[in-house]
Amino acid sequence: MPSAIATRRFQVYFKQVAVTGLVLYILVILLSSNSSHHSSELISPIQHKMAPPSPLLEKPPTDISHLVFGIAGSVATWSYRKSYIETWWQPNVTQGYVFLDKAPTGDLLPWPSYSPPFRVSEDTSKFEVYSQHAAPSIIKIVRMILETFREEDEGVRWYVMADDDTVFVVDNLVEVLAKYNHTKYLYIGGHSECIKSNVDHSFEMAFGGGGYALSYPLAAALVTNLDGCIKRYPDYRISDRILQSCISDFGVSLTAEKGFHQIDLHGDISGLLSAHPHSPLVSLHHLDVVDPIFPSMNRHESIKHLMEAAKIDHSRLLQQAICYHKQNNWSFSTAWGYSSHIYEQIIPPSLLKRPLETFRPWIENTRRPHFMFNPRLLLNDPCKAPHVFFFESLVETAGNQLVTSYIRASQRDFPACSSGGNHSADRISKIQVFSPKTKPSEIERSECCDVVHVDGKDMAEVTYRACMKDEIVG
């Protein structure tokens, strides 16, 4: 219909005018501030992308009291999603709100003090402009940053937006945010694991399920005319995409951090979690969609179990250390607090750091490559398939050491690896890992380890330690 096309053209024209106006406005602001500021403000986002800054000597350093969370929830899902939030929410310590689509009733009341306080999202259906939006129901989620900001909490440095099925390791989130200067315009989060999701939405978008953080100045700027921005993108159907577009219109790009995980995957994600990058684990999402992360437990027990390790040493959680038992030609790869693998041949660290492809992509039956990282295929080859052990228990010793135990998930159905010399690891049922109570985030490289003992019966022992100066990590 010609009239519809004319309207569409006008909208496109209007959008261009609006965006050009905004760009001009930003330029004017930049040019009018004094010149010594220009270079630093223009260069610093690029520096952040290339090499994350070392911890700021900001006084006082960023801690949990400087964060306010906005959690997108709904009355229909809260009763079972809340158990994910309760694994990380610390009543009277973490600050923030869960935003519900309508007022809770029945079983949800009285609202417990160990849950985040709730707010009911403002009803936007009465605004005519929203009824013209392609996906009016997502507007409430976009406006969550506005409604969180309006709570006027004091001393806020970072607003952290998440879903009701996002699980944070809060201490690691604080540690990651503390590296950045919260007085600058910053948008920090993670990509999707799947190339296709980033292509379909944006490589510049922080995926909301993995959670993302907005520095105070960015949030303040964004909320001054958020509704105006939502109007600029009437046909976007994804809330994170609208928000990213609004942020991009301010000239701010995504600072991607490797610890945020959207988990746009299906099936068994143990391969991914067993090869986490050397970066603190910040978040996990879609835990209702993937298999329980510990095969012997259900989903909720699994996440609680992982959090038990997190509580004792959050910095080391999932941090991978690789070492070898030369006598048997075995390679050990341990992801602290989660899993330990034995391979019956010597495999270099660079390969063991590639996640084993135990999972499937978000959109199945599509063409490779699927992922934003280099996976290793899971092969029916006794030299390439690991013996898999999962975290069972943790003990703190008097000597300031932690002992984590990993027990075999199931018997591996293969003969021994012949080229490694036929040294079967079938008899090993348990791996004990000793680690010092230090902060690996203070260590530039992955940690090293030693296989200190393999007994004739069923047990192996591994010790985490700092690598020596010129040592090959592994």
Q: How far apart are CA 446 and CA 450, in angstroms?
A: 14
Q: How far apart are CA 252 and CA 213, in angstroms?
A: 13
Which of 225, 224, 460, 211 lies closest to 327 in space, CA to CA? 460
* Selected range binding ligand NAG among 5-13, 52-60, 207-215, 293-301, rule: CB under 6 A: 52-60
Residue 176: φ, ψ to 5°: -70, -45
Please select the residue that binds ligand NAG; options are 19, 52, 58, 135, rule is CB under 6 A.
Answer: 58
Nearest to ligand NAG of 15, 184 (CB atom): 184
Residue 298 contacts ligand NAG per CB under 6 A: no
Residue 3 contacts ligand NAG per CB under 6 A: no
Please select the residue that binds ligand NAG; options are 96, 259, 375, 420, rule is CB under 6 A.
Answer: 420
Please select the residue that binds ligand NAG; options are 92, 365, 380, 411, rule is CB under 6 A.
Answer: 92
Residue 366 contacts ligand NAG per CB under 6 A: no
- Tell the smallest beta-carbon distance from residue 420 to ligand NAG (Å): 5
Residue 33 contacts ligand NAG per CB under 6 A: no
Sign of CA dihedral 209, 212, 218, 220: positive
Please select the residue that binds ligand NAG; options are 419, 458, 471, 472, rule is CB under 6 A.
Answer: 419
- Count of C-beta atoms within a 10 Å radius of residue 391: 25
Nearest to ligand NAG of 79, 327 (CB atom): 327
Q: How far apart are CA 71 and CA 166, in angstroms?
A: 9
* CA angle (393 as vertex; 387, 397 as ends), nearest 5: 120
Which of 263, 281, 391 lies closest to 336 in space, CA to CA? 391
* CA angle (53 as vertex; 50, 56 as ends), nearest 5: 165
Residue 184 contacts ligand NAG per CB under 6 A: yes
Tokens coding 421: 């010399």
- Tell the smallest beta-carbon distance from residue 143 to ligand NAG (Å): 28
- Tell the smallest beta-carbon distance from residue 335 to ligand NAG (Å): 25
* Selected range binding ligand NAG among 54-62, 138-146, 295-303, 357-365, rule: CB under 6 A: 54-62
Q: How many residues does the chain have?
A: 474
- Interface with ligand NAG by CB under 6 A: which residues? 56-58, 91-92, 113-114, 181, 183-184, 327, 329, 418-422
